[in-house]
Amino acid sequence: MSLQKPRFTLEFEKPIRELEDKINALRTTSETTGVDASKEIRSLESKIEQTRREIYGKLTPWQRVQVARHPRRPYSLDYIGMIFDDFQELHGDRLFMDDESTVGGTAFFEGRPVMVIGQQKGRDTKENLRRNFGCPNPEGYRKALRLMKMANTFGLPIITLVDTPGAFPGIGSEERHVAEAIAVNLREMSELRVPIITFVIGEGGSGGALGIAVSNRVYILENAYYSVISPEGCAAILFKDRAHAPKAAEALRLDAPNLLKLGVVDGIVKEPLGGAQEDPATTGSNLRKTLRASLTELSKFSPEKLIALRYAKFRKMGVYAE
């Protein structure tokens, strides 16, 4: 799947784009007139680098949400292709249909067989409709659970990639009991006897994300988010106006540093300056290193220990002292 798309500029990135446009204009002028503009170009390139570090070095939670939603950001299938070998996608929940917003199947990670499950968005309107904009129906969660039970039977570690705005709230989804499907996943995942490792690679929207994230280890990419509700949804409820989404994002503490501090995630995976879309290969390499270390650690534990640690991990969330 190609990641090459027309340039997409977020609001806070405009100062960088303006400098890039100036450089391009100087280069064009230099080529047509023969005037040497190399000194001015080097000066602007230095200024771009400085501006990039200033902007991306202090992103707000809302700006990280925007980066997490970037249309050129790598998706689950992109990372699966980078990190795993011989991925064999398996389809269908054996109950109703195949939900293409959820992908999964067997693969090899550095020679070891594993089960990989991810939530998948589309690159264009046609693919987004096919992938339901990354919002799983109940069939997506039931397919994921079918694959996880298969992995449990054959002793395969489970790796899940979370990237969804949330489970699909449409009438058909509700008629086929999406809440029940997620709830069953939470229960069943808690008792699986194999290592489960989750990476939040983009959006981690509420129960839609948690439905494949009851894991021994949960990691998050530096510019991803993981939250009980979207900033816009929170703003609509608390402030009666979705325009207050930036304020809601601050209050939700949904960004990686806050999630690590709160104990919701176990680690942050670094992204290149500007986000994963700027250098997908480096981001994939960072994910691989984290997965290797985590899998090595968890493989030392017995099935009973894995279950006990997973249970304790989620039980302690939200505990506080006055």
Name the pTM for this structure.
0.90
Spatial distance between the Cα atoms of 196 and 230, rounded to a whole number of angstroms? 25
**How high is the pLDDT of residue 15?**
86
Q: What is the DSSP string of 188-227?
A: HHTT-SS-EEEEEEEEEEHHHHHTT---SEEEEETT-EEE
Do 141 and 160 meet the contact criterion of CB atoms below 8 Å apart? no
Residue 295 confidence class, pLDDT cut points 50, 70, 90? very high
How deeply is 13 buried, as exposed, middle or buried, from its count of CB atoms within 10 A (0-12, 13-18, 19+)? buried
Mean pLDDT, to the nearest integer, of 171-195? 97
Does the domain at 64-315 match CATH 3.90.226.10? Answer given as: yes
Straight-line distance from the first to the last Cα atom of the chain, in angstroms, rounded to the nearest whole number: 51
Spatial distance between the Cα atoms of 41 and 19, rounded to a whole number of angstroms? 10
Q: Is the pLDDT of residue 4 over 50?
A: no
Residues 6+ apart with CB under 8 A from 284: 74, 78, 79, 82, 83
- Residue indicated by tokens 């709830």: 183
Spatial distance between the Cα atoms of 157 and 114, rounded to a whole number of angstroms? 5
- Of the candidate ranges 48-52, 129-133, 207-211, 235-239, the one whose mean pLDDT is the lowest: 48-52
**How high is the pLDDT of residue 26?**
81
Tell me the two tokens of residue 94: 């054996």
- Residue indicated by tokens 């999406």: 178
**How high is the pLDDT of residue 156?**
98
**How high is the pLDDT of residue 318?**
80
What's the DSSP call for residue 177?
A: T
150 closest CA partner among 96, 182, 188, 120: 188
CA atoms within 13 A on the CB side of 183: 4
Residue 183 confidence class, pLDDT cut points 50, 70, 90? very high
**Model pLDDT for residues 73-129, shown as the tens digit of each residue:** 999 999 999 999 999 999 999 999 999 999 999 999 999 999 999 999 999 999 999
Spatial distance between the Cα atoms of 161 and 120, rounded to a whole number of angstroms? 9
Do 198 and 219 meet the contact criterion of CB atoms below 8 Å apart? yes
Mean pLDDT, to the nearest integer, of 292-302? 97
Q: Which run of H or E residues covers position 159?
A: strand 158-164
Spatial distance between the Cα atoms of 161 and 209, rounded to a whole number of angstroms? 9
**Model pLDDT for residues 93-108, shown as the tens digit of each residue:** 999 999 999 999 999 9
Torsion of CA 264, 266, 270, 276, to 10 degrees: -50
255 closest CA partner among 62, 45, 13: 62
Spatial distance between the Cα atoms of 17 and 30, rounded to a whole number of angstroms? 20
What's the DSSP call for residue 111?
A: T
Do 226 and 249 meet the contact criterion of CB atoms below 8 Å apart? no
Please give the residue that has the higher pLDDT: either 84 or 316: 84
What is the chain's mean pLDDT, rounded? 92
Supply angle C-alpha 86, 153, 121, rounded to 5.
Answer: 50
Q: Which amino acid is at 13?
A: E
**Model pLDDT for residues 27-73, shown as the tens digit of each residue:** 888 777 877 778 888 888 888 888 888 888 889 999 999 999 999 99
